[in-house]
Chains A and B, each alone.
Chain A
Amino acid sequence: MSGRGRPFVVMAIVGVMLLVACSVRTPRDGFTAARRGELANQAGTAGEQAGVQGGTATASGQASTNGGVNGAGGATSGAGGTSAGGSSGVGGPTGGSAGATSSGSTVGVTKDTITISAMAGFSGNYGAILTTIYDRGFGTWVDDVNAHGGIYGRKVVAKKVDNQDTVEGGVSACKTIQNNGSYLAVSIVGFGGADVSSADCLDRAGIPDLGLNLSGWSNRWARVYSAGDAGKQAKPMASYIRDVIGDNGRIGIIHTNDPVNNASRAGLADELHRLGMNLVHEETVSVNQASYVAPMTNMKNARVTTVALIENTNEVIGTIRDAKSIGYNPHYSGNFWVTDESSSGERALYDGIKALRNYSSTNSPGYADYVAKAKKYGHGDVITTGTAALYGIGLLAGQVLQNAGPNPTTAGLPGAIESIVNYNNGLTMTLSFGKGVKVAEVGMWPIQCCNSDNTWRGIGDPKTFF
């Protein structure tokens, strides 16, 4: 290479290494990331449907402004129904719509339809997977709701909006939503900053955004709601380690240096301190790191008895494998990496590990219900806990629409989201917003490796504290 070209190449390579070191997350764990925020559920289709039917109703109960209470009438009829398959119904929220204006004046709402937009990187690197799970999971929810009359008699029209997994794509998705006549925007997942840029843009545009798996958060956002905050998802792990795994000894955290895992690590560390547990050692690793012998040797030397794996699937596999190679076998727990896809391949490594997940397992009643519906509506060609999670997101969206009441208004939408309290649809994580709360508290599913088909086995109900 010429003397002139060489410095460029050196700087280019080193620059990329620094970028990786300081880095933006490169998601590699497949569905994991996509599931991170997905947890939501719906309060039960049946209840929802009941509300729909009854919802001709009227403004009689809708006047409640905070959505926390229902009024009489149609809104009430939707509450308390149990979702098919035994998942508990939402309990009752519901809420009245905050606004009492006529539906004719609300963007995205007509006499016969209500339109929502669902954003994800459908043309990004994970586009094929996202498209598959969206079409099967979310599509099942749309078909099911509409087959039962829609929400308050309005058919749900779901628009798939591509955020391209880029910052620019997120802004473009926001512009699309501003022009496609949507009542509600749901951000399923957005890599590469797409979720944050779209949220920021939608907030400025005055359009409420229900963001699942948001990789960032701004306190100045007024209309963005986060369901599945990474820190909130990690909090339950502290009491889980103490009371379910049964280790109140020496705890260690190994985490991948990316925004989501950093936030998750912070949430867990705070909770460990709050509970007075003994966090004795922490290690930070890079995405796709080649070896974990050094960090796990440090864990071993620190006599850590339970290691919390706040990493992506690839790093987790390497971490456990390298720990074994140095004869170190502590307890493990973790969250985001706990996918059925990886457990089928790495059963020998994972066997017996107790972890937490933001969506349920194949042995949950909600899953069986989903499977039946997916088959019923012709989406049964791909059925996984990943597609079930997308169905759960549909249920959550449906609950928000339900809470918005029979005469939904844009101004009333924040109240409809905030009235999601103690929400458990049996498929995704439990969620609690509340009046003025924009980042939901999260309840996680306890699971253990593994069922006979190598999927993770549910070992209880989702909780925020074990």
Chain B
Amino acid sequence: MPTVVLNGAFVGLVYGLLAVGLVVTYRTSRIINFAYGETGMLAAFFYFDMRLGRSTSTIQHDHGIGLALPAALLIGALIGLAMEWTIARPLRSNPTLNGMVATIGASLLFLTVATHRWGIQVRLTRPLVEGSGVRAAGLTISPSQLLIGGCALAILAALAALYRFTSLGLRFRATALNPYGAALSGINTNATSMATWAIAGALSALSAILIAPLVAPNVFFMTLLALRAFAAALVGGLTSIWGGFLAGVLLGVFEGVVAYKSPIAGVTDVIVAVSIIVLVVARPGGLVRAQY
């Protein structure tokens, strides 16, 4: 059991990391970005191309991460900006449901583009850090998993500092709390919205690049992971970055324990989904309420 719990915690870090990006976007735009996973996937595949070459099944060369990683983060940010410009902003005065449906359309578009560009086979990749990992509780924890843990904590701390100690963060918080009031106070809400979507896009790219070595990445690899992250963000409270992250970690552990203990094969997803329904009904505001 300790092995399963520990592994679940590391899986949960992935969900938590993705949930954080969703929350960042939602706080400002009130839109759940269903293309969040695909944004990261696109950026990650460009990263693979830049670093390792275009072949999906062989590594033609390794140019390292020096250029590829920043470029991929930039691509993620640009995709985020494009979505803000084409979806979030034009639909701001419409019901939020419209914006969410539009992001579903964007996710399908991204998948189609990616499928035609890279196919559907598993992409050979290489982790950001190599090594044999460390052994704990009967589990070998890979350097990639450790890196995800470190990055998740660093990103959370950076976001906390951004929101708490900078004027940009103050504008983010004001826009999140009351966009109309923020605009009346002279805050350029378009700019804060763009910055938010760009940050979320870059975050999605970084998450995908970190996660890819842990799974067998093809163009769908982020889609189902993001679905878990949506659930975590909801359970966490949607507006709380810490809540989303915490819920993600808990979801990972819960999922692992259910899969390990369930006497009936194949019901893990059903149990997890039903549990989420129960939790959200019992605590509609989520586990953690946002502190603006």
List residues of chain A with CB under 8 Å of any chain B CB.
1-3, 5-6, 8-10, 13-14, 16-18, 20-22, 26-31, 125-129, 257, 282-284, 286-288, 290-291, 293-295, 297-298, 313-318, 322, 324-327, 339, 341-342, 344-346
Contacts and interface: CB of A to CB of B under 8 A. Distances in A.
Interface string B9-23: 001001100000000
Contact of A21 (B100, B216, B269): B269
B224 to A, nearest CB: 5
Interface of B: 3-4, 7-8, 11, 14-15, 26, 30, 32, 56-58, 95-97, 100, 111-112, 115-116, 119-124, 133, 138-142, 215-216, 218, 220-221, 223-225, 227-228, 230-231, 234, 238, 252, 255-257, 259-260, 265-270, 272-273, 276-277, 280, 284
B234 A125 contact: no
B57 A345 contact: yes
A345 B124 contact: yes
Contacts of A288: 215, 220-221, 223-225
Contact of A294 (B215, B224, B259, B284): B259
Contacts of B276: 10, 13-14, 17
Contact of B119 (A6, A18, A128, A282): A128
Most buried by A among B97, B218, B238, B265: B265
A361 to B, nearest CB: 16
A324 B224 contact: no
A290 B138 contact: no
A165 B265 CA distance: 29
Contacts of B257: 294
A9 B224 contact: no
Contact of B122 (A1, A22, A290, A341): A341
A4 B175 CA distance: 21
Contact of B120 (A2, A30, A325): A30
A1 B238 contact: yes
Contact of B256 (A257, A287, A293): A293
Contact of A1 (B3, B96, B111, B225): B96
Contacts of A298: 260
25 contacts: A2-B96, A5-B96, A10-B280, A13-B230, A14-B231, A17-B228, A21-B269, A28-B120, A29-B120, A29-B122, A286-B224, A286-B269, A288-B224, A290-B14, A290-B228, A291-B256, A293-B139, A294-B259, A297-B4, A314-B122, A314-B218, A315-B216, A317-B215, A326-B138, A344-B57
A400 B221 CA distance: 40
A256 to B, nearest CB: 10
A314 B216 contact: yes
B195 to A, nearest CB: 21
B109 to A, nearest CB: 12
A327 B138 contact: yes
A28 B219 CA distance: 8
Contacts of B97: 5, 8
A129 B8 contact: no
Given A21-B273, A30-B120, 10 more contacts: A13-B234, A30-B119, A286-B224, A288-B220, A290-B215, A290-B255, A295-B260, A317-B122, A317-B216, A342-B122
B216 A291 contact: no
Nearest to B238: A1
A16 B140 contact: no
Contacts of A339: 121
A8 B140 CA distance: 40
Q: Which 5 A-B pairs have the closest CB atoms?
A: A21-B269, A30-B121, A284-B266, A345-B124, A294-B259
A324 B140 CA distance: 8
Contacts of A127: 116
B220 A28 contact: yes
Nearest to B137: A326
B166 to A, nearest CB: 26
Contacts of A324: 140
B8 A6 contact: no
B41 to A, nearest CB: 12
Contacts of A10: 234, 276-277, 280
A21 B139 contact: no
A422 B268 CA distance: 42
Contacts of B268: 21, 286
Contacts of B11: 290-291
A125 to B, nearest CB: 5
Contacts of B95: 5
Nearest to B97: A5
Nearest to A256: B266
B138 A318 contact: no
B115 A344 contact: no
A9 B265 contact: no
B218 A21 contact: no
A369 to B, nearest CB: 24
A326 to B, nearest CB: 6
A325 B4 contact: no
A29 B141 CA distance: 27
A28 B218 contact: yes
